[in-house]
Amino acid sequence: MDGHADEHFIPVARLAQLDERGRAVVRVGEEWVALVRVDGRLHAVQQACPHRGGPLSEGDQDGCLLYCPLHAWAFDVRTGDSPTHPGARVRIYAVRVIGDEIQVAASGRLPAP
């Protein structure tokens, strides 16, 4: 547990399904969500960039910053905030791993504007 005991988690993937960068794109309800591994820990953010829908799972990574592959807006996968474009934000989801099963909170949340 990581402090999200009150959230409803749903299984989305197995650890073996992550690619060599520790990423995957999974479905959570109505939304596509990118799983991104940073320093051994998994984070989950909405897959579609809020600028023009670029696939964030395909972006370059610098620590906790994920850069959209289309126009390089950066998002912090821990908070959903953008240090390069203040005010831009992505929905983030709590993640937990049970055995080899990755589970994501059914409802994500946006950082405060």
Please report, as ranges, the residues that interact with ligand FES according to CB under 6 A.
49, 51-54, 68, 70-71, 73
Report in angstroms how near the CB of residue 19 gets to ligand FES at its nearest.
20
3-state DSSP assignment of residue 91: coil
3-state DSSP assignment of residue 65: strand
Nearer to ligand FES, 9 or 73 (CB): 73
Report in angstroms how near the CB of residue 39 gets to ligand FES at its nearest.
24
Amino acid (one-letter) located at 35? L
Residue 20 vs residues 1, 24, 42, 73, 108: alpha-carbon distances, Å: 25, 10, 13, 23, 25
Nearer to ligand FES, 60 or 101 (CB): 60
Nearer to ligand FES, 72 or 106 (CB): 72
Q: Within a 13 Å sphere around the CA of 96, how many CA atoms are in the beta-carbon half?
A: 13
Report in angstroms how near the CB of residue 48 gets to ligand FES at its nearest.
8
